[in-house]
Chain A
C-alpha cells in the first residue's frame, strides 16, 4: 500500500502527466521533422512558455501549503499534482531547448531544475517509506511526549535516589545532565542509524556491572532504579530514532527549496539573456 500522495483522486495526476508527456513527445517529433529544434523557434518558444507556467505552478505549492484557508483544491491534491508536474517538467525543458545543452547559464537553470526534481524524488521516497518505519519506534508517542515522559522518569529517579547511597544520586545526576546538555546533532545523526537495541544492551551491561557495588539491602531498590534508567535510555533512543527519521523527512527540503529558488534566479537570467539579444 502506498500513500495516497501518488494515487490521489484515482491517480488523476498520473494520468494527466502521462497523457501530457505523450502529447508533448508527439508534437516534438512533428516539430523536429520540419526544422532544427531550438528555443528560438515558434515551437521552442511555446514549450518555453509551458515550462515557465509549469515551474510557477510548482513553486506555488510553497504558498498553497501555508494558505490554510484556501479552498483551491486540497493540499494533498496539490502535492500529488506537484509531484507529477515536476516529473513532466523534466521533459518539457529539453523539448524547449531542442536537446541543446552546453556550458552556459541556460543549462545551469536546467541543471538546477534537475537537482530540484531529484531531491524531490528523494523526498517522495522518504515520504512513502519513513512513516512506516517511524511506527516501529514507540508510535504512540511523539518526540515531545517522549521528552515529557523522560522528564517524568527523571523525577521518579530523583525520588527513588533520595535515601539511597551516593551511587544512586550520581547516576541520577548523569542522566539529568545529559538531557540538558546534549549538543546539537540533528545533521550528524542523519546518516548514522540509531540502534535502540544495541544502546539498551550496552546500558544494561553497564548497569549489571554496577550491581556488584550495591549493598545487598539496596539491590532490590537498585533493580527498580535500573529499570527506570533502562526505560529512560530506551525512550531516549526512540526519541533519537524518531527525530532522525523526522529529520530525514525534512532534510531533503534543505536542498529542494533553496535549489528551486536558485533555479528561479537562473531562469530569470536566462530570460533576460535570450530576450536581450
Chain B
C-alpha cells in the first residue's frame, strides 16, 4: 500500500480516536474538496491544494496553487521530493510524514483535535454559541448589494405604474377623441370616416345581444324591403344581417348563410305563393329558373318554372319566327342578307339587359308598312290606335283621289251632309279605298302583294269601333305586351358575359319557330360556368339582392350632412 494516513483525535478523558486509512494508487490528493483522498475542511485549504505522488525519485509533494500555500519543514515549497521524514503544513494542519521503509509504507499522521470534525466533512466549522462570531455585522453589504429589490424598485411599484399607464393612457386617448382604439373589431371601409364617433350609431348601455336599431341605419341608408312577395314575419333588422365590427370590409357582401337562414327552410304562410322551395346552394338545390307569366305589376305574380313546358310560354301576342329570321339568304331590302342576334337585340346603356325590341329600331328596316302599289313610299305609321290609322288612310286616299281627279272637283258650298242625303261619290270612293286597304292590311299575308302586313307580326281582333265613315268596323291589333324582364327577382349583367356568343346560352333561339317559345337559358346552362369549386361565382348575391331596388326611397334634397358634420369627431 503506497499510502497510509493516520488521523488522531483526542476526545478528552475518553481517550483518543485513531482512524487509519490505507490508500492504494500512486497519488495522494490533498485539499478541501471531498473528492480528495485527504479531505481537509478549512478555509485556508484550497479545493485541490496539493498532491503527493510516488515517483522514481521518491515521493514528490506538489503544491497545486499558483502561490505556494504548503510548507515542508517550515519552508514554503511548490514542488519537492520529500525527505525520509518531516512535517508538512497546510493551513492549520500539521502532518508528520515518514517515507516508506522496508517495514512500513509512506505514512502521514496528523492530529485533528480542535480542528474540524471528521464525521461530517460537508458541514463547515460550527460557530460556538455566544461567541463574537454569531453577531451579524449589519454594515456588511455583500448580500444586500446583490439584491434586486430596491427601496423604490419593487414589483408592487412597477405594477402600480403599469396599471396607471394602462388606465391613464386609456383615459387620455378617450379625452383626445381617438375613440377608435376602444372599438372591438374593425369597421367597414365606408364607415371609417366617422369611426371615432361611436355615438353616431350606438346608444350607450344597450342590453346585451341587441343590435343598433334600424332607425340609425336608415338615417343615412335607404333599406327598401325585401320583394313584396315576402309574406312572413317581421323584417330582420339591418344590423341583424349587416353586422359591423366583424372584420367585414364591405357590409353588403354577405355570405350565403345569411340568405339561407330563411331560404334554407322557408316557411310560407301565404297560399298565393305556390312555389317556395328551400335553397341551400346554387349547385345543390337551387330550383329551375321561374319566369313571371302574369303581366308585370300584377301582384302576386304568377310564375312558371322553365321546365314546366305547359305553363311556360311567351304570351306576347306577337308573331316572331327566330329560325326564319336567322336563316341564310334571308331576303332583305337590299338583297339577301344574314341576320344575327345583334341585328335586333342591343343591350341597354349599362350593358346589363337587352333593350326592348321596337318596330322602329329593329323591324322597320325590312318590314315597311307600305300598303298600296299606287302609293309607293307611303307607309302606315306604326303603333297607333285603329282610329288614328283609319284617319291616316282616309287622309292619304283623299289626297290621292284629289290628285287623280283634280279637274273634276268642284268646290262645294259646304261639306256637311244632310242626314239622309246620299254620300258624295268621292266619299264613297275614298271609303272604299280605305276599307280595301284595311282589309288587306289585316288579311291573310302574301309575299307578292302588300297583303297582311299587320297580321304578319300581329294578332288582330275585330272590335266594335266604327270607322270614321261609319261604314265598317275597325280591326284592332292586339297589344303586344312583350316582357322586358323575364326574371324580375334576380339581376343579370350581359356585359359580364360579353365573351360568349348569344347562342352559347340562348341555344334554342336559332331553332325557335314559335313566338310561344321562351328562349331563356335554364339553370343547367348557367351551371356550365357557375359551379363550385373552381368555377364562376355561385353566391346568392351574384344574381339576387335582398332589397327590392325598385322601391328605393328617393332622397329629399334637404337631407344629409355637410362634409364637416359627416367627418365630425374623426
Q: How far is the CA of A259 from the CA of B161 in the complex (A)?
A: 10
Among B68, B133, B243, which residue has its beta carbon within 8 angstroms of that of A223? B68
**Chain A residue with the shortest CB-CB distance to B171:** A269
Taking a contact as CB atoms under 8 Å apart, the answer to whether A228 and B167 are in contact is no
Contacting pair A186 B162 (CB below 8 A): no
**Contact present for A39 and B43 (CB under 8 Å):** no
Contact partner of B159 (CB less than 8 A), chosen from A42, A100, A257, is A257
Chain B 127-181 interface residues, beta-carbon cutoff 8 Å to A: 127, 132-133, 136-137, 139-148, 150, 155, 158-163, 165-167, 170, 180-181
Contacts of B145 in A (CB 8 A): 182-186
B163 and A211 contacting across the interface, CB-CB below 8 Å: no
Judge if B400 is at the interface, Cβ distance under 8 Å.
no
Chain B residues, CB < 8 A from A264: 163
How far apart are the CA atoms of A98 and B185 in the complex, in Å? Answer: 10
Q: 1/0 per residue A29-72: CB within 8 Å of B?
A: 00000111011101001000000000000000000000000000
- CB–CB B139/A180 < 8 A: yes
Given A182-B141, A251-B148: A38 in contact with B67 (beta carbons within 8 A):
no
Contact yes or no, A230 B166, CB < 8 A: no
Contacts of A124 in B (CB 8 A): none
Is B122 interfacial (CB 8 A cutoff)?
yes
Please, how many angstroms separate the alpha-carbon atoms of A144 and B65 in the complex? 28
The verdict on A85 contacting chain B, using a C-beta distance below 8 Å, is no
Do the beta carbons of B146 and A243 come within 8 Å of each other?
yes
- Judged by a CB distance under 8 angstroms, whether B309 is at the interface is no
Give the docked Cα–Cα distance between A253 and B144 (Å). 19
Check if A265 is an interface residue, CB within 8 A of chain B: yes
A162 within 8 A of B: no
Known: A39-B184, A103-B181. A181 touches B141 (CB 8 A): yes
Asked if A161 is at the interface (CB within 8 A of a chain B CB), the reply is no
Q: Within the assembled complex, what's the spacing in Å between the Cα atoms of A141 and B41?
A: 14
Residues of B close to A185: CB separation below 8 A = 145-146
Q: When A105-B170, A257-B155 are in contact, do A239 and B143 touch as well, CB less than 8 Å?
A: yes
User: Given contacts A36-B243, A36-B247, A265-B163, is CB(A258)–CB(B184) below 8 Å?
Assistant: no
Interface residues of B in 18-73 (CB under 8 A from A): 43-46, 65-71
Question: Which residues from 132 to 149 on chain A have a C-beta closer than 8 Å to any C-beta of chain B?
Answer: 140-141, 143-149
Task: Indicate if the CB atoms of B163 and A182 lie closer than 8 Å.
Answer: no
> Contact at A186–B146, with CB atoms within 8 Å?
yes
User: Using an 8 Å CB-CB cutoff, how does the interface string of A143-161 with B read, 1 for contact, 0 for none?
Assistant: 1111111111101100000
Query: Restricting to A248-277, which residues have a CB under 8 Å from any CB of B?
Result: 250-251, 253-254, 257-262, 264-266, 269-270, 273-277
A79 contacts partner chain B, Cβ-Cβ < 8 Å:
no
B209 — which chain A residues lie within 8 A by C-beta? Answer: 40, 42
- Interface SS, A side: helix
User: Complex formed: what's the CA distance from A274 to B248 in Å?
Assistant: 19
Q: For residue A42, which residues in chain B have a CB less than 8 angstroms away from its CB?
A: 209
The reply to whether the CB of A170 lies closer than 8 angstroms to some CB of chain B is no
Nearest-Cβ distance from residue B175 to partner chain A, whole angstroms: 14
Q: Judge whether A254 and B143 touch: CB under 8 Å.
A: no
Contact (Cβ within 8 A) A187 B185: no
Contact string against B for A residues 205-246, beta-carbon threshold 8 Å, 1 for contact and 0 otherwise: 101100100000001100110111011100010011001100
Q: Mark B77-120, 1 if CB is under 8 A from A, else 0.
A: 00000000000010100000000000000000000000000000
A39–B137 alpha-carbon span in the complex (Å): 60
In angstroms, Cα B182 to Cα A108, docked, is 10
Cα distance A262–B159 in the bound complex, in angstroms:
7
A98 to B186, CA, bound (A): 12
Q: Which stretch in B198-206, B355-363, B490-498, B515-523 binds the other chain?
A: B198-206
- Across the interface, which residues of B come within 8 angstroms of A273, CB to CB? 182, 184
* From A148, A153, A261, contact of B163 by CB (8 A): A261
The chain B residue with its CB closest to the CB of A103 is: B181
The answer to whether B162 touches A261 (Cβ under 8 A) is yes
Question: When the two chains form the complex, which single residue of A108, A147, A152, A183 contacts B133, counting CB atoms closer than 8 Å?
Answer: A152
- Identify the closest chain B residue to A276 (Cβ): B204
In contact, A265 and B143 (Cβ under 8 angstroms): no
A244 to chain B: closest residue by CB = B146
- Looking across the interface, which residue of chain A has its beta carbon closest to that of B173? A105
Given contacts A224-B91, A236-B142, contact A258 B66 (CB under 8 A): no
Q: Please state if A208 and B67 are interface contacts (CB–CB under 8 Å).
A: yes
State whether the Cβ of B123 lies closer than 8 Å to any Cβ in chain A: yes
CB within 8 Å for A153 and B140 given contacts A104-B180, A262-B159: no
Question: B246 interface residue, CB < 8 Å from A?
Answer: yes
Q: Are B161 and A258 in contact (CB under 8 A)?
A: yes
Determine if A104 and B182 form an interchain contact, defined as CB atoms under 8 angstroms apart.
Answer: yes
Would you give the 0/1 interface string for A171-203, flagging 1 where the beta carbon is closer than 8 Å to chain B? 000000001111111110100000000000100
Find out whether the CB atom of B65 lies under 8 angstroms from the CB atom of A204.
yes
- Is B373 among interface residues, defined by CB-CB distance under 8 A? no
Q: Are A35 and B67 in contact (CB under 8 A)?
A: no
> Of B70, B76, B123, which one neighbours A219 at CB under 8 angstroms?
B76
B310 at the interface (CB under 8 A from A): no
Chain B residues contacting A98 (CB-CB under 8 Å) are 246-247
Q: Is the CB of B182 within 8 A of A228?
A: no
Q: Which of B43, B67, B141 has the most CB of A within 10 A?
A: B67
| A106 at the binding interface (Cβ < 8 Å) | yes
| Given A141-B124, A226-B67, CB of A247 within 8 Å of CB of B148 | yes
Is B183 an interface residue when CB atoms closer than 8 A count as contact?
yes
Whether B44 pairs with A261 at a CB distance below 8 angstroms is no
Q: Are B71 and A223 in contact (CB under 8 A)?
A: yes
Q: Please state if B257 and A254 are interface contacts (CB–CB under 8 Å).
A: no
A94 to chain B, nearest CB (A): 13
> CB of B271 within 8 A of chain A?
no
- In the bound complex, what is the Cα–Cα distance between A270 and B183 (angstroms)? 9
- In the complex where A36-B243, A258-B159 touch, is A240 in contact with B146 (Cβ < 8 A)? yes
The answer to the question of A102 belonging to the interface, with a C-beta cut-off of 8 Å to chain B, is yes
Nearest residue in B to A38 (C-beta to C-beta)?
B246
Q: List 30 A-B contacts (CB under 8 A).
A: A36-B248, A39-B185, A40-B209, A40-B245, A100-B246, A102-B183, A103-B181, A104-B182, A105-B170, A108-B166, A144-B143, A146-B143, A156-B43, A180-B140, A186-B145, A189-B146, A220-B74, A224-B69, A227-B69, A228-B43, A228-B44, A240-B146, A253-B155, A254-B155, A257-B155, A258-B159, A261-B163, A265-B167, A273-B182, A273-B184
**Residues in chain B within 8 A of chain A (CB atoms):** 43-46, 65-71, 74-76, 89, 91, 122-124, 127, 132-133, 136-137, 139-148, 150, 155, 158-163, 165-167, 170, 180-186, 198, 202, 204-206, 208-209, 243, 245-248, 255, 257
Nearest 4 A-B pairs (CB), nearest first? A243-B146, A262-B162, A227-B44, A258-B159
For the complex with contacts A40-B245, A102-B183, A243-B147, 5 further pairs of A-B residues with Cβ separation under 8 Å are A100-B185, A187-B148, A220-B89, A223-B76, A250-B148
